[in-house]
């Protein structure tokens, strides 16, 4: 018995060294963790993932559009990403008559593919450490501004010197809080055509109800094709362009995934902050997130109330609601996870350990934390006010339009004024298309009330303080009068006002008064001091980063995410977020229909009829798993973040087994404090994706281009 106990006590230690799920690694620095990856089951080498000498996996991973990831899956430029990443494109091709969001879209040959102006994908051709060159001449004594200017000049110089082809670009990015710099030579393709998208009832099954939540049952994917010029190089859209021939594309595994299998995600995570001080964690967990959650609670509740009652409002506000709710749900999970993992306490213990080690060496870096603590004493309350301000200001929909229109007030010339006013009409028309004044009206009254009640009198913009007194804190009454007269809450009134601009009436419009009263105060009282403090915090964080790497030697330091290409690995595994709750790693089609059965009235759970027919007939073709079912999604312990949407999920042999599209909300604190017991990424099983392409969409011809591993 004793022996067993002893063994058990040692075992967790062993597991810790063998497992290293935390980390988003730069592909050129993989050599240092290659052994660890292999210990965890990876059968290939670092050179297979990233190589400058031969084609490698990195040649099949692209930055898609603004901030998603895509992967090449055929020799003819076929590329996968998430449905929610291609959503804008799918929507832009949709009309009431051909509603691709609802019905899905499938090109049955290359001629039917749809062009997407403004969309591009970027390949990383190579990366290079240019730290020494970028930091050459930088002395400790420089002020932050001098340092920034010098770095900027150095970056310009280094970028110019880097060897590259005329059709390639160079970007140099800071890592480790500005202590290291890497150059990226890239190729951007602008002819990217939509090949196919499943109906929303499959691609976004579960909608906002399921967003950030496990278990999940959607195939969050769509397919594009990248085109190059006839010479194979990047080119603007042209009929003469040809399907892009990638240097590498991912083979697709038909063998499926099992619990405990090695997985790896290759993509472009956006932003993490793993090395911040306890003061910063305290701010996020106890000030920023709770404030944003509280104000959005009010906003979302009021939106939903009207969306439920009225179909026009439901459609108008669907996308806005999704955007507001996405952050809200993520932050709720973040606070929960930070508390559950004692993140703040852990940081404090780490910091005192750090100070002790520094002190033992007779060094001074402990002061960095003291200084950070001093700044945060002033920064935390002020920044918290900024968070309040921004959530309230941005929560009142029409204020942005009022703010933009306020610029007219400074135009002295009448003809110019008329011309500029007319220019505002088309944009406003777009805004009002998805706007219902009664919703904004209610939200404005509620948000101003929270703002006026939560912030001390002397911390409110003076204009709001005046209103508070004038209306005796009755913001509903204020809003009622306001919405009756303002031209910014009704398109007809706004259009008339712009066709005949009158500066006197415009400057007395309650929306202009409110927008100015809030934003001018913000720009003079909040923004400048917050900006100065952020500069100091950034510079201290830079020093702290170096010091952590010097003294906390047993820790592996990967650079925080910054939208550059990263590799992360883990394994397929369920987890237990709360006492008594255990999640398994897989879902199947059964669960999709069960959700509908449990909540038939929930539109997020409306299922696709074709999918249902196939399900009833168990017509699964070659896409069923060993248990005879269609596996829909799986979770794994890969360290991912926003921006990893659409990333390829690969097995031990580098074959595609899934598409990453979300994280479990209980572990969204992984951006600050990754914990393998709680953090899971969510992926769609690639067999589910192919099943939809072939059996639901009838676009099986696309599979002929792919390399399927049986």
Q: Is 642 in the site for ligand ARG (CB under 6 A)?
A: yes
Task: Name the catalytic one among 20, 21, 59, 84.
Answer: 84
SS3 of 169, please?
A: strand
**Tokens found for residue 329:** 């749900």
Number of residues that bind ligand GLU (CB under 6 A): 9
The one segment of 96-104, 545-553, 636-644, 690-698 that binds ligand GLU by CB under 6 A: 636-644
User: In this chain, which residue has its C-beta nearest to ligand GLU?
Assistant: 645
Cis omega (within 30 of 0) on the bond before 215?
yes
- By beta-carbon proximity to ligand ARG, the closer residue of 369 and 649 is 649
Assess 86 for contact with ligand ARG (CB under 6 A): no
326 binds ligand ARG (CB under 6 A): yes
Q: Tell me whether residue 645 is one of the annotated catalytic residues.
A: yes
Residue 482 CA neighbour count, 13 Å, CB half:
27
206 — alpha (psi -120 to 50), left (phi > 0) or beta?
A: left
Supply the minimum distance, in Å, between the C-beta of residue 692 and ligand ARG. 17
> In the chain, how many H helices and how many E strands?
26, 21
Count Cβ atoms within 10 A of the Cβ of residue 331 and give its class: 0-12 exposed, 13-18 middle, 19 or more buried: buried
Rounded to whole angstroms, how far apart are CA atoms 642 and 209? Answer: 19
> Which is the catalytic residue, given 36, 59, 220, 671?
220
Shortest gap between Cβ of 299 and ligand ARG (angstroms)? 16
Listed residue (508, 350, 493) closest to 432, CA to CA:
493
What's the CA gap between 27 and 564, in Å, rounded?
A: 10
**Residue 267 in contact with ligand ARG, rule: CB under 6 A:** no
Cα(479)–Cα(137) distance, rounded to whole angstroms?
58
642 binds ligand GLU (CB under 6 A): yes
Terminal Cα-to-Cα distance of the chain (whole angstroms):
46
Binding of ligand ARG at residue 322 (CB under 6 A)?
Answer: yes
The Cα-based distances of 368 to 175, 543, 548, 565 in angstroms read 19, 7, 11, 30
Task: Give the start-end residues of each E strand in 37-76.
Answer: 61-64, 68-72
Using CB under 6 A as the binding rule, whether residue 263 contacts ligand GLU is answered as no
Q: Does 645 bind ligand GLU (CB under 6 A)?
A: yes
Please identify which residue in 641, 651, 673, 683 interacts with ligand GLU, judged by CB under 6 A.
641
Q: How far is CA 484 from CA 449, 509, 667, in A?
A: 19, 11, 45
Active site (annotated) includes residue 84: yes
E strands, 626-695, are 631-636, 648-650, 656-663, 681-685
666 binds ligand ARG (CB under 6 A): no
Instruction: Confirm or reject binding of residue 84 to ligand ARG (CB under 6 A).
Output: yes
Q: Which of 180, 208, 397, 560 binds ligand ARG (CB under 6 A)?
A: 208
For ligand ARG, the closer of residues 175 and 661 by Cβ is 661
- Tell me if 643 contacts ligand GLU by CB under 6 A: yes
Which residue among 278, 637, 645, 647 is the active-site one?
Answer: 645
Classify residue 44 by burial, with Cβ atoms within 10 Å: 0-12, 13-18, 19+: middle
Q: How many CA atoms lie within 13 A of 36 on its CB side?
A: 20
CB of 440 or CB of 675, closer to ligand GLU:
675
Give yes or no for residue 207 binding ligand ARG (CB under 6 A): yes
Q: Which is nearer to ligand GLU, 398 or 663 (CB)?
A: 663
Q: Looking at 181-189, 248-256, 446-454, 659-667, which segment touches ligand GLU (CB under 6 A)?
A: 659-667
83 touches ligand GLU by CB under 6 A: no
640 binds, among ligand GLU, ligand ARG, none (CB under 5 to 8 A by kind): ligand GLU
267/510 with CB nearer ligand GLU = 267
Q: Rounded distance, CA 704 to CA 694, Å?
A: 11
**Which stretch, 378-386, 555-563, 656-664, 695-703, contacts ligand GLU (CB under 6 A)?**
656-664
Which residues have C-beta within 8 Å of that of residue 243, sequence separation ≥ 6? 76, 77, 110, 225, 226, 227, 228
The yes or no reply on residue 211 touching ligand ARG (CB under 6 A) is: yes
Using the rule CB under 6 A, which residue among 191, 662, 666, 675 binds ligand GLU? 662
For residue 211, the partner it binds in ligand GLU, ligand ARG, none, with Cβ less than 5 to 8 A by kind, is ligand ARG
Q: Is 332 in the site for ligand ARG (CB under 6 A)?
A: no
Joined together, the tokens standing for residue 63 give 């930055």
Q: What is the DSSP letter of 12?
A: H
The only residue of 640, 651, 673, 683 in contact with ligand GLU, by rule CB under 6 A: 640
How is residue 126 annotated by DSSP?
E
Q: Which does 641 bind (CB under 5 to 8 A by kind): ligand ARG, ligand GLU, none?
A: ligand GLU
DSSP 572-616: B--EEEETTEEE-SEEEHHHHHHHHHH-TT-GGGPPPHHHHHHHH
- Binding-site partner at residue 322 among ligand ARG, ligand GLU, none, CB < 5 to 8 Å by type: ligand ARG
51 is catalytic: no
Q: Between 56 and 69, name the residue whose CB sits nearer to ligand GLU.
A: 69
Cβ 502 to ligand ARG, closest distance in Å? 42
Cα–Cα distance measured from residue 73 to residue 625, given in angstroms and rounded to the nearest whole number: 21
Q: Which does 234 bind (CB under 5 to 8 A by kind): ligand GLU, ligand ARG, none?
A: none
Q: Minimum distance from CB of 84 to ligand ARG (Å)?
A: 4
User: Which residues make up the interface to ligand GLU (CB under 6 A)?
Assistant: 640-645, 661-663
Which residues lie near ligand ARG (CB under 6 A)? 84, 204, 207-208, 211-212, 322, 326, 642, 645, 662
| Residues taking part in catalysis | 84, 220, 645
């Amino acid at each position: 018995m004793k022996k067993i106990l002893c063994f058990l006590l040692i075992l967790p230690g062993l597991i810790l060294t063998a497992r290293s799920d935390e980390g988003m690694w730069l592909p050129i620095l993989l050599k240092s963790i290659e052994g660890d990856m292999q210990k965890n089951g990876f059968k290939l080498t670092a050179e297979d993932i990233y190589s400058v000498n031969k084609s490698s996996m990195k040649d099949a991973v692209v930055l898609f559009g603004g901030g998603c990831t895509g992967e090449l899956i055929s020799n003819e430029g076929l590329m996968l990403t998430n449905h929610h990443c291609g959503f804008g494109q799918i929507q832009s091709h949709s009309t009431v008559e051909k509603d691709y969001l609802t019905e899905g879209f499938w090109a049955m040959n290359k001629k039917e593919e749809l062009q997407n102006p403004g969309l591009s994908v970027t390949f990383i051709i190579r990366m290079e450490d240019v730290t020494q060159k970028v930091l050459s001449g930088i002395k400790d004594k420089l002020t932050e501004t001098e340092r920034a200017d010098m770095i900027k000049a150095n970056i310009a110089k280094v970028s110019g010197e880097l060897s590259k082809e005329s059709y390639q670009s160079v970007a140099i990015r800071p890592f480790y809080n500005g202590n290291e710099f890497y150059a990226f030579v890239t190729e951007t393709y602008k002819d990217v055509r939509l090949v196919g998208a499943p109906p929303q009832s499959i691609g976004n099954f579960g909608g906002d109800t399921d967003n950030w939540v496990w278990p999940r049952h959607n195939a969050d994917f769509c397919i594009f094709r990248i085109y190059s010029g006839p010479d194979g190089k990047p080119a603007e859209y042209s009929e003469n362009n040809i399907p892009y021939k990638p240097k590498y594309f991912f083979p697709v595994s038909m063998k499926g995934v099992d619990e405990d299998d090695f997985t790896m995600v290759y993509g472009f995570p956006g932003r993490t902050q793993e090395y911040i001080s306890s003061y910063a964690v305290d701010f996020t967990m106890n000030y920023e997130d709770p404030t944003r959650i509280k104000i959005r609670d009010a906003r979302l509740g009021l939106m939903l109330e009207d969306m439920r009652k009225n179909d026009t409002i439901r459609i108008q506000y669907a996308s806005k609601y999704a955007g507001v709710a996405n952050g809200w749900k993520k932050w709720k999970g973040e606070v929960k996870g930070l508390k559950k993992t004692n993140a703040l306490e852990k940081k404090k213990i780490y910091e005192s350990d750090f100070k002790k080690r520094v002190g033992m060496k007779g060094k001074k870096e402990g002061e960095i934390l003291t200084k950070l603590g001093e700044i945060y004493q002033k920064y935390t309350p002020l920044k918290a006010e900024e968070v309040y301000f921004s959530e309230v200001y941005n929560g009142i929909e029409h204020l942005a339009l009022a703010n933009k229109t306020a610029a007219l007030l400074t135009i002295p010339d009448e003809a110019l004024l008329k011309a500029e006013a007319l220019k505002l009409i088309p944009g406003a028309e777009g805004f009002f298309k998805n706007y219902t004044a009664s919703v904004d009206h209610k939200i404005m009254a509620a948000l101003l009330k929270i703002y006026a009640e939560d912030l001390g009198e002397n911390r409110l913009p003076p204009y709001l303080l005046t209103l508070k007194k004038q209306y005796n804190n009755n913001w509903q009454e204020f809003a009622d009068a306001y919405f009756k007269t303002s031209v910014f809450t009704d398109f007809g009134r706004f259009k008339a006002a712009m066709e005949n601009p009158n500066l006197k009436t415009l400057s007395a419009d309650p929306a202009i008064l409110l927008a100015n009263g809030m934003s001018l105060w913000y720009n003079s009282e909040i923004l400048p001091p917050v900006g100065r403090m952020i500069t100091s915090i950034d510079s201290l964080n830079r020093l702290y980063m170096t010091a952590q790497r010097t003294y906390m030697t047993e820790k592996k330091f990967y650079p925080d995410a910054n939208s550059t290409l990263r590799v992360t690995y883990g394994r397929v595994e369920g987890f237990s977020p709360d006492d008594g709750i255990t999640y398994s790693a897989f879902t199947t089609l059964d669960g999709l229909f069960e959700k509908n059965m449990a909540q038939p009235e929930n539109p997020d759970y409306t299922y696709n009829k074709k999918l249902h027919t196939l399900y009833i007939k168990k017509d699964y073709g070659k896409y069923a798993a060993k248990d005879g079912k269609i596996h829909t999604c799986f979770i794994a312990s890969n360290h991912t973040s926003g921006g990893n949407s659409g990333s390829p999920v690969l097995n031990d042999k580098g074959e595609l087994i899934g598409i990453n599209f979300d994280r479990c909300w209980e572990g969204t604190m992984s951006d600050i404090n990754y914990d393998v017991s709680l953090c899971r990424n969510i992926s769609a099983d690639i067999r589910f994706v192919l099943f939809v392409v072939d059996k639901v969409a009838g676009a099986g011809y696309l599979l002929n281009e792919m390399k399927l591993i049986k």
